[in-house]
Structure 1
Amino acid sequence: MKPGRFTHFMAIDWSGAAGPRQKGLAVAMADASGGPPALLTRALPWSREDVLALLRDGLPDDTLVGLDLGISLPHSDCG
């Protein structure tokens, strides 16, 4: 990856709770000019579908996205 490839940075805190909208879902955006990341807010809490739409259609091409999520198997599959 060449230096300067990304000038926008998004972080997503992906809640594991059930339900269509989650107060625990959080999306923040920063850019290469500096300063703290800004939380992206909505009138309603984020839904997973909202986040997918943003990832699919609402980002600059030079955005690096990081996800905070648990991708382990459910407990019932462990034994």
Structure 2
Amino acid sequence: MCDADAGSAPTFAVAAGTSVTLVATSADEREFHLHNYDIELSGTRVTFQFAATILGPSQLTLHPGHEVVCTVVVS
């Protein structure tokens, strides 16, 4: 889980081809953007589901502001 209010941005390592479920939370309604996959979801608790097909790091950020909430690294 990625908590936008935690003050730290964890990194998660996943194997290429894996089916990923990533939950992100925020105390306030926010827009979350998973870069490289270009998935955007809004809310206080959102669930991203995607196949880990893009190698390397992909950051989950808040919009506006681009604050990094967590990073998913596919290898």
TM-score band w.r.t. shorter chain: 0.3 to 0.5
Higher helix share: 1
Give the TM-score taking structure 1 as reference length. 0.34
Give the TM-score taking structure 2 as reference length. 0.35
Could you say which structure has the larger radius of gyration? 1
